[in-house]
């Protein structure tokens, strides 16, 4: 496998949201306080994908070592890349998988931070998103 397609060492986000990741996992008013950065990365990537919030990474920030992700977390990120690319062959390009994940995590964490700081109830908003997603999933299966 060449260097262009091999897995990167770290999961990367844009430097502009690095402080947001830190705030969401440490501040007392955050619903994500205590969550690991890698767990928040996967959640933010999934929410970013769902909301269409892919943001190009201009200034790279290593959030965590890729090897710290569980198999389940890796497959969530792979599923996002497959859906985004509309092609299963993307699984051969690990670097692209995690680039896509980082772009969606960058957009997703900004979305989560906006929810946290908005006057609306964040849990109500996220619950509505989850209900909509589950309906979409079940409607696709019918």
The token duo for 108 is 């997703």
What is the 8-class DSSP label of residue 69? S
* pLDDT confidence of residue 81: 96
User: Which tens digit of pLDDT belongs to each residue from 103-131?
Assistant: 999 999 998 888 877 766 666 666 666 66
136 vs 38, higher pLDDT: 38
* pLDDT confidence of residue 77: 95
Distance CA 64, CA 59 (A): 16
Report whether pLDDT(8) > 90.
Answer: no
- The mean pLDDT value for 75-92 works out to 95
* pLDDT confidence of residue 116: 77
User: Which tens digit of pLDDT belongs to each residue from 32-83?
Assistant: 889 899 999 999 999 999 999 999 999 999 999 999 999 999 999 999 999 9
Residue among 12, 32, 31, 44 at smallest CA distance from 111:
44
* pLDDT confidence of residue 3: 47
* pLDDT confidence of residue 14: 94
Domain boundaries, the chain: 10-141
Beta bridge partners of 124: none
Distance CA 90, CA 112 (A): 28
* pLDDT confidence of residue 102: 97
Phi first, then psi, for residue 13 (nearest 5°) are: -125, 170
- The mean pLDDT value for 78-91 works out to 95
């Amino acid at each position: 496998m060449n260097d262009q397609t091999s897995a990167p060492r770290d999961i990367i986000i844009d430097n502009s949201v690095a402080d947001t990741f830190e705030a969401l996992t440490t501040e007392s008013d955050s619903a994500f306080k205590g969550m690991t950065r890698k767990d928040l990365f996967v959640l933010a990537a999934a929410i970013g994908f769902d909301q269409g919030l892919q943001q190009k990474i201009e200034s790279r920030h290593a959030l965590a070592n890729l090897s710290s992700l569980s198999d389940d977390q890796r497959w969530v990120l792979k599923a996002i890349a497959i859906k985004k690319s509309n092609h299963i062959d993307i699984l051969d390009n690990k670097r692209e998988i995690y680039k896509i994940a980082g772009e969606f995590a960058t957009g997703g964490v900004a979305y989560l931070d906006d929810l946290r700081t908005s006057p609306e109830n964040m849990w109500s908003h996220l619950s509505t998103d989850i209900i909509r997603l589950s309906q979409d999933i079940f409607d696709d299966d019918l």
